[in-house]
Amino acid sequence: MEPAADAPAGDLPARVHDLARRLPKVELHVHLEGTITPERLRSLAAKHGHPLDPAALETIGPGTSFGSFLAAFLERMRVLLDPDDWCAVLDDFLSAQCGQNVPYTESYVTFYGALLGGYVLADVLREMAAVEQHWHARGCALRLVMDAPRQFGNDVALQMFRLAAADPTGLLVGVGIGGDELVEPAENFAGAYAFARDAGLHRTAHAGEHGGPASVRAAVDVLGVERIGHGVGAARDAHLLRHLRDRGVAVDVCPGSNLATGAWDPAAGPHPVRSFVEQGVRIDVGSDDPAIFGTNLSDEWANLMLRDGFTPHECFDLTLDALDAAFLDDGGRARLRAHFDAELEDLREEAAALEEALHAAATP
């Protein structure tokens, strides 16, 4: 691992960000399309002669509508037209993950173009698997989750889930639904999720991002998901939080994304991540669409300490707990936990000093 960056002893935010960067992490909620940087987006658009909406190159900040985010995301989907495009984006992303000490990632992908005949998915996956093996050998493994847009309905979701089940490489380990949850309720996707369950695919769903507790409960009780993406709407229902805890359903928390899209308004109170933890709900931390929101996973962890009041050692516990939310087999999980334990042990002395400094700074 890289040594700690030199930061003045009194520069607490810089010290926190440095510790967050070196903290071993898994990322379970990030969309590969949402990692496409403006530079890569320009390059792919030029390659295919695609006229690019300049707004898609801008970082989306607080106060932007969810529709503006979807427009920026769709621009990125439109330039992914062949295996080389997908591989270039994946290579960029895994390089960045290695720089943030993220040994394992599960990334959403929306291979809708395969249904339109734009590319043969098996060919794309085989070439992506070669890129993944290159980075896996360098300590950054990745698996994929097929993400079906809710607005296209159950039939399209079922087609996409069938493509996931037919993956010849083993990269696709799960399925989910995303997009605007207010357009199609979770109950409408029961058929597609029944297929996924029978095919042995892991299951997740975006819910409670802009919808309320009922949206989260339906994802759990009707679709049988193992993880909830965002889940902000669950925080105001104590019974539902206990239900998530008792069912062992993890929540992917993405505060930077929630702030940008208006799913969380700081004026109404703190982000519910602390409520989830206090109620015993397992969480993992995600950057969601980092190139669109101008964030990254390390910044999200740093903000847990600087904004939400989590101590460095609480973050150590949370990053270990997140391993249990990953779609890993028992052997893979045990190996990753051993790796995390060793790296965290090396960071504990520094974390203790930083914890003391943060406490002192907060004490009048």
Q: Which residues partner with 206 through β-bridges?
A: 229
* CA distances (Å), origin 98, targets 89, 91, 177: 14, 11, 27
The token pair at 179 is: 């997009």
Query: Distance between CA atoms of 128 and 132, rounded to whole angstroms?
Result: 6
Contacts of residue 139, defined as CB under 8 A and 6 or more positions apart, other chains included, come to 98, 103
Of 328, 319, 337, 236, whose CA–CA distance to 282 is shortest? 319
Q: Which of 75, 184, 209, 300 is catalytic?
A: 209
Nearest CA to 323 out of 78, 50, 103 is that of 103
> With b meaning 16 or more CB within 10 Å and e meaning fewer, what string describes 271-282?
bbbbbbbebebb
Q: Is 187 labeled as catalytic in the residue annotation?
A: no
By DSSP bridging, strand 202-207 and strand 172-178 are parallel
The number of angstroms, rounded, from the C-alpha of 175 to the middle of its chain's C-alpha atoms is 13
Q: Say if CB 146 and CB 183 are below 8 A apart.
A: no
Evaluate whether 146 touches 176 at the Cβ level (below 8 Å). Answer: yes
Contacts of 246 (CB under 8 A, 6+ apart): none
The phi, psi pair for 314, rounded to 5°, reads -65, -40
What is d(CA 75, CA 21) in angstroms, rounded to the nearest whole number? 30
Token readout for 186 is 């979770």
What is d(CA 207, CA 214) in angstroms, rounded to the nearest whole number?
9
Measured CA to CA, the distance from residue 75 to residue 62 in angstroms comes to: 20
Question: What residues pair up with 283 in beta bridges, in sequence order?
Answer: 251
Give the whole-angstrom CA distance, residue 262 versus residue 271: 12
Catalytic residues: 209
